[in-house]
Structure formats: C-alpha cells, structure tokens
Amino acid sequence: MTIHILGSGSATPTVTRNPTAQLLEVSGRYFLIDCGESCQISLLRKKIPLLKINHIFISHLHGDHWLGLPGLISSMHLAGRKLPLKLFCPAGMEQILQTIFSYSETQLQFEIEFSIHHPSEKKVIWENSDLEIFSFPLAHRIPCHGFLFNEKKRLRNIRREAVEVYNIPVEELINLKLGKDWIHPDGRIIDNRLLTKDPKPSSSYAYCSDTEFAPHLASYFPEVSVLYHEATFTEELIERAKLTYHSTAFQAGEIAYLAGAKQLLIGHFSSRYKDLNPFLLESQKKFANTCLIFDGFSLDF
C-alpha cells in the first residue's frame, strides 16, 4: 500500500495545506479518500491520472472534505471518462451533485454509482479477492464515517525447487498456496512449510477523518499497519476540541496505542498553529511512532 496525502489542512486552508484529501494505492488501484477543495490540483502535482481513480470515499458532508469533488468529476468528464465511478458517500451527496450539475447543464458521459454508507457498526462496503474495505461510524457534529482498508491474507509462495523434487502436478499448486500439505502418491505426507514460503505480510490502513476522542474506535482497526487520525488541536485547546467534535494530538496518540497500530499519521491541524512540533511531542507521549503529515507526503507500507 502507498498513501499519498493530497490535503492535510483543516476547514480553513493555508498556503501550504489544502483541505483533507488522501489517495490510497493498493496493487495499482487508486482509492480516493475525501476530496477537499483543490484535490484535483494536488493529483496533477502528484502526476496521478484522474481516470485511474474508480473509487471515491467521502467521510462526511462538511465542505472541507468534499468541495473538490464536483470539479474533479467535471474534469474526468472533460477528459472523456466513460467508465462508471463508484462513490461511497453519505446520503445528501447525490442531491448536492445533482443540483450543481443541473444548473451547469452538465450531462456526464459516465455513470456515478452512489453507495450510501451509514452503518452504526463496522461493516464491509467493498471487497475483491485481495482487499476488503470497511466503513465505521466516527463521533462528529454531523454523521461521519471512517474507513479501513484491509489486504486479505495473501496466498503462500511456492518453493519451486521443492515442487520439482516431489514432481507435484500444476493443478495441485493452489492447495499448497492455501497452506495444505501434499500427500505423495506413495502415501507420504509432505509438510506444507517444506513446499511454500510465508507470504509478504498483509497491510492495512485506517482513516479517521473528523471525530471527537472515542476510545472504542480502536476496536475497529486492531493492529492496523498505519492509522490516520485527525489532530485538530493540542491539549491546551481540549475544550475547543470537545466543543467542535475534534481531537487533540494526545488523543490521536491514545487511539493508536489502544489499537496496537504500527504507525500513526496525524493531520487536519487547525490553521491557527504556526509551529506544529507540539502536536508531534504530544502524540508521542502516548505513541512513539507518530508522523506529522503534509501536502505531498507519501508513505509505502
């Protein structure tokens, strides 16, 4: 997996931080997660072809998480897109887009397949053979959901030399990849571990866009490889965080700790802060492996 940060700011953008948008790359697929204003420009800067994005996930309907969407859709249309676009979003997104495109008299040349997600529990919203994507409720001022991208357990890797020694037929290889032992025609049982190697560990990415501190969230993404959690304020402004249904950097660190995450990314910093070092120090009190994100940041994991 690779996560690309397209926008790391909060509701009020700054000259260096656009509103929230991220792109998760999984085996050549691009999943766009939130789409704040200027998202399409950030995609251009990262040289990511707009038409390679087929799945978009919108966490909630505060403008700083979706106002780049109509422009992005319009640019996809002008670039000749024909393939349907899957849009996982809250109820209301469809009416907003219809209103906008009806006044501009835009007839999109491709279909938008709306998938309304509003689970009250963690729930699979998309999957294929390699990946499953969950939505789960966050605790914000308006309905808001996080997302978990989980690579499914990979198949074991064949040890070609051992397979040749035992002369195992090709059609049996899938069973070896699934971890089964090989029963030789002479009755011997060959341990799977002699025939295969452990696969690369699976990765996972959890995204908590806008939420107040809610310790139960950690149970939605146990032992996640990388957790993104918003950190709009430092502890000094914890009252303001509560009032606006946002989190502090310390609280983001606590969620990462409770989840047993391997790495924590924090962002969505209020534009009032000029020095972001206090965010890092605060989060690291609870969770050492914290990273402050910025526009243009990418991470392979």
Q: Which is nearer to its own copies, 58 or 265 (CB)?
A: 58
Smallest distance from the beta carbon of 13 to its own copies, in angstroms? 6
Which range binds its own copies by CB under 8 A, 14-22, 177-185, 187-195, 210-218?
Answer: 14-22
**Residue 137 binding its own copies, by CB under 8 A:** no
Nearer to its own copies, 38 or 247 (CB): 38
Contact positions with its own copies (CB under 8 A) in 58-77: 61-64, 67-68, 70-71, 74-75
Does position 296 bind its own copies by CB under 8 A?
Answer: no
User: SS3 helix, strand, coil % of the chain, rounded to 5?
Assistant: 30, 30, 40
User: Of the candidates 82, 141, 154, 193, which one interacts with its own copies according to CB under 8 A?
Assistant: 141
Amino acid at 291: C
Q: Which stretch binds its own copies (CB under 8 A): 80-88, 103-111, 164-172, 276-284?
A: 103-111
Q: DSSP alpha helices (H): ranges in 25-183?
A: 39-45, 69-78, 93-103, 160-166, 173-177
Q: Which stretches of the chain are DSSP H helices?
A: 39-45, 69-78, 93-103, 160-166, 173-177, 192-195, 238-243, 249-259, 277-286
Which positions are catalytic? Answer: 64
Q: Alpha-carbon distance 240 to 259, whole Å?
A: 25
Strands (E), 90-166: 112-116, 123-127, 131-137, 145-151, 157-158
- Sheet order of strands, 2-7 included: 112-116, 85-89, 53-57, 29-35, 21-26, 2-7, 298-300
Among 52, 79, 216, 260, binds its own copies (CB under 8 A): 79
- Of 15-23, 171-179, 254-262, 278-286, the segment contacting its own copies by CB under 8 A is 15-23
**132-147: burial string, b at 16+ Cβ within 10 Å, e else:** bbbbbbbebeeebbbb
Contacts of its own copies in 30-59 (CB under 8 A)? 37-38, 40-41, 44-45
Residue 100 or 190 with smaller CB distance to its own copies: 100
The residues binding its own copies (CB under 8 A) are: 11-15, 18-19, 37-38, 40-41, 44-45, 61-64, 67-68, 70-71, 74-75, 78-79, 92, 95-96, 99-100, 103-106, 141-142
